[in-house]
Amino acid sequence: MSACRGRWQTGDAMARILVATVPMTGHVRPMAALVRALADRGHALAWLAGPKFAPLVEASGAAFIVLEARLDWDDADVEAAFPVLRGRRGLARVRAQLDALFIAPAPLQCRALEAASATFRPDAVLADQAFMGAALLHEKAGLPWAGLGVSALGMPSVDTAPFGSALPPGRGARNRLLNALILRGLFAGTNAAWRRARAAAGLAPGRQMYFESFSPQLYLQPTVPGFEYPRCDLPPQVHFIGPLVLREPPRPQALPDWWADVEAARRDGRPVVLVTQGTLATDPRELIVPALRALAQEDLLVVATASPEGVAAALGGALPANARLAPFIAYPALLPLLSAVVSNGGYGGVQQALAQGLPLVVAGGSEEKPEIAARVAWSGAGLDLRSGRPAPSRLREAVRRVLREPAFTARARALAAEMAACDAPALGAALVERLAATGAPVLRAEAAAGGAALAAPLADMPRRSSS
């Protein structure tokens, strides 16, 4: 039985919600924003997560249930935990990651959820999209299940090319052909792995593709429609709620000793450009080093989130005079001072940049980052370099373009306005608590027709019977 810390039984709690995330920072932090909102609304929550996330889980208001060692890994060095990923790029990397990180652990995840459910007796499960044990548990036990997206929407559609192709949307025969070729052809091994996982959990293997294994009851996509490809066949349980950004409690925040240079550049009208590789694929030789070289002679200030020592070693010499580095910089302080962002396409970072109205240059080559980069280009809010290791000359020209061509900033600001109209934690919490109360699918049409009803107290909603 998994160890648990925290007290989850509160006499006046309105619903009991069991939360689960794979041990990846980019999955845990947006979930924490949603869990905090649910806790603030009076619900009792228990959360299965990796040991290093215990402080974040408990600060969100949930009881912490530690994932057993076989389900935990260090997301700062995924290749050490999963050597099969080494040397793989593009679709080969996506397939290997889906199989090793998300599908193979699913039966064991399901058993962990069953064990937690036996004690906690939840009204619903809330899991990030990669915690596939929740799909198995829902089918086995009928427990209501809400999924939280943490990346670009990957549901198959007649209006989009298949996920993993990083092609722009378009209707017609192309999509039918590519969906068959890629989702059932190139991803045949992934689908077979998913069938094996189902069988290992005691379910019939079935014919469902891995990319069809979304919650049929509620799926929360933490962005706005303006960023995601339009789909005439978008499932009715999918809700765009806006970016989920975890707001840290106010506390003194140490800023780098060069912070005055950022403020001076902003004051003088000199562009400030952030270069970031997020929390995965953090080898500075992929993007940070090429970007520093590309922009060394430009009349702007470059800020990069990376170890100065590690970058200097990768550069083979001193940092450029216009570069400033720190391992961590608080985004609430930094983003308002920026002119543009150069990113490797991490979903959360891209959403935060767009929420600030910042145009992007994206160089995404690993995991699903090419799909995110493609959406940045499609939305008009930036450029997709279509490479995870771009040449400095391409980087330099791309940064020049997003800084001098106002259309990119205009589109980024339009998306920022769309995002500002969303209260993602509140809307997501209202949708999850409706699922917990009724056990029935929560559909967009109902939400649009009765937005005020979604915010109604859970005590006023019809309750499903608990077993």
Same domain, residue pair 413 and 426: no
What pLDDT is attached to residue 282? 67
Q: Are residues 116 and 65 in the same domain?
A: yes
Question: For residue 29, what pLDDT is reported?
Answer: 95
pTM: 0.90
Asked if residue 110 belongs to a domain, the reply is yes
Same domain? 11 vs 105: yes
Residue 115 lies in a domain: yes
202 within a domain of the structure (yes/no): yes
Statement to judge: residues 177 and 76 lie in one domain: yes
Is 428 domain-assigned?
Answer: yes
Residues 406 and 434 in one domain: no
For residue 251, is it within any domain? no
Structural domain total, the chain: 2
Q: Range of 352's domain?
A: 259-420
CATH number of the domain to which 448 belongs:
3.40.50.2000
Question: Would you state the pLDDT for residue 7?
Answer: 36
> What is the per-residue pLDDT for 251?
52
Q: Are residues 204 and 303 in the same domain?
A: no
Same domain, 306 and 442: no
Distance in angstroms (rounded) separating the CA atoms of residues 376 and 369 = 11
Same domain? 91 vs 214: yes
Residues 302 and 441 both lie in one domain: no
Task: Report if residue 252 sits inside a domain.
Answer: no
In the prediction, which pLDDT does 8 show? 37
Tell me, yes or no, whether 211 and 287 share the same domain.
Answer: no
Residues 225 and 295 in one domain: no
The amino acid at 410: A
352 inside domain: yes
Question: What are the pLDDT tens digits along the chain (467 aa)?
Answer: 334 343 334 344 589 999 999 999 999 999 999 999 999 999 999 999 999 999 999 999 999 999 999 999 998 888 899 999 888 877 788 889 999 999 999 999 999 999 999 999 999 999 999 999 999 999 999 999 999 999 999 999 999 998 888 888 887 788 888 888 888 888 999 999 999 999 999 999 888 889 999 999 999 999 999 999 999 999 999 999 999 998 875 555 678 999 999 999 999 999 999 999 866 556 788 889 999 999 999 999 999 988 788 788 888 788 899 999 998 888 889 999 999 999 999 999 999 999 999 999 999 877 788 999 999 999 999 999 998 888 999 999 999 999 999 999 999 999 999 999 999 999 999 999 999 999 999 999 887 665 544 544 443 444 454 44
Q: Is residue 247 part of a domain?
A: no
- 380 and 448 in a single domain? The answer is no
pLDDT of residue 349: 93
